[in-house]
Structure 1
Amino acid sequence: MSLLPSFPEVLRQFLKKPATNLFPAKYLPPSITGFLRKAAAGEVQVNPPVETPARFRGKITYDRDACIGCKLCIRVCPANAIEFIPETKTVRIFVTQCIFCSQCNDACPVSCLHMTDEFMIATENRYSEEMIVE
């Protein structure tokens, strides 16, 4: 009986080449990036994207002018993805921490938070401008 029965499998997986590509476009294979360049130049036609379903919960948007600073969104957020900024009485939402449950939208009395249909939001820097909604 081996003390580490999964060790051979771990070693096999460690030495295998990954079966997937890294996500951000700069890591895509040249065949795909070349196709995307041709599509941008209008040389090839791309099928239209599939529409997102009704009530899709994508990246959150925030209307800071409508916000009254009640902090209800912070209280109901199960992922603690929202923080209050006392100086401006507004909130900051960390998209990389958000679980897209939409509880903050439902709790907001002035409807200043909304879920969009944007879903391709992967990035390498979790604190980049696109990943923080203010």
Structure 2
Amino acid sequence: MKVSKIMRKIFKQLFQKPFTNLFPAKYAPNSVLKLFELLEEGEAELNPPIEIPPDFRGKLSYDTDKCIKCYQCKKVCPANVMEKDPDQDNYLVFYLSRCTSCSQCVDMCPVDAIEMTDDFLLADADKYNDNLILNSKKSPGELKTPEEE
């Protein structure tokens, strides 16, 4: 029986280390971590390699001052991104790790309390990271995990 080239290649790669780079910031080199610190402090600016198109759907933003608590966004969201928080007068908490960026919530909001921003750096190993949760007054340890829900 003759083994094809592709089968030899697959068998060889089974025993090699992965080719992918670890992305979350804790695995980044110190030079990159320093850049992240400068970005947070506002001393550096991240310019994407290409211009962001006008209809770009990045990270959600939520303005509680505009929100009238009609919950139309919650009803239309296919990914169940929003949850009412009784500790915050039933304002919404957004779990962005669930978001599919469909922007149906933005389209449904009658007072424009929800918008899609140009922010696109959302990858993280922890889905309860502060960067991935909007409007939460709780610490990540107090948030429900899927096993508790």
Q: TM-score, normalised by structure 1?
A: 0.74
- The aligned length equals 119
Q: CA deviation at 1:35?
A: 7.0
Which residue does the alignment assign to 1:76? Answer: 76
Partners of 2:83 and 2:10 in 1: CA distance: 40
Larger mean CA deviation between 118-127 and 94-103 belongs to 118-127
Q: CA deviation at 1:12?
A: 5.4
Is 1:85–1:92's contact at 8 Å kept on the other side of the alignment? Answer: yes
Structure 1 residues 11 and 60: CA distance shift in structure 2, 3 A: same
The alignment yields a C-alpha RMSD, in angstroms, of 2.8
Partners of 2:115 and 2:17 in 1: CA distance: 41
Which residue does the alignment assign to 2:17? Answer: 17
Larger mean CA deviation between 47-56 and 65-74 belongs to 47-56
Partners of 1:86 and 1:126 in 2: CA distance: 22
Identity across the alignment (%) = 43
Q: Summarize deviations over 1:53-86 as a string: whole Å, max 9, x none.
A: 1110001000001100001001000001111224
The aligned amino acid for 1:94 is: Y
Larger mean CA deviation between 10-19 and 96-105 belongs to 10-19
Q: CA deviation at 1:124?
A: 1.8
Is 1:57–1:116's contact at 8 Å kept on the other side of the alignment? Answer: yes
Which residue does the alignment assign to 2:51? Answer: 51
Q: Summarize deviations over 1:81-107 as a string: whole Å, max 9, x none.
A: 111224513111100011110000000
Partners of 1:118 and 1:35 in 2: CA distance: 18
Q: Secondary structure at the match of 1:96?
A: helix
Q: CA deviation at 1:26?
A: 3.1
Is 1:95–1:131's contact at 8 Å kept on the other side of the alignment? Answer: yes
Partners of 1:86 and 1:35 in 2: CA distance: 39
- Structure 2 unaligned regions, length at least 5: 1-7, 39-45, 136-149
Q: CA deviation at 1:52?
A: 1.2
Structure 1 residues 36 and 90: CA distance shift in structure 2, 3 A: closer
Structure 1 residues 109 and 37: CA distance shift in structure 2, 3 A: closer
- Structure 1 unaligned regions, length at least 5: 1-7, 41-46
Partners of 1:97 and 1:123 in 2: CA distance: 13
Is 1:62 matched up with 2:37? no
Partners of 1:99 and 1:122 in 2: CA distance: 13
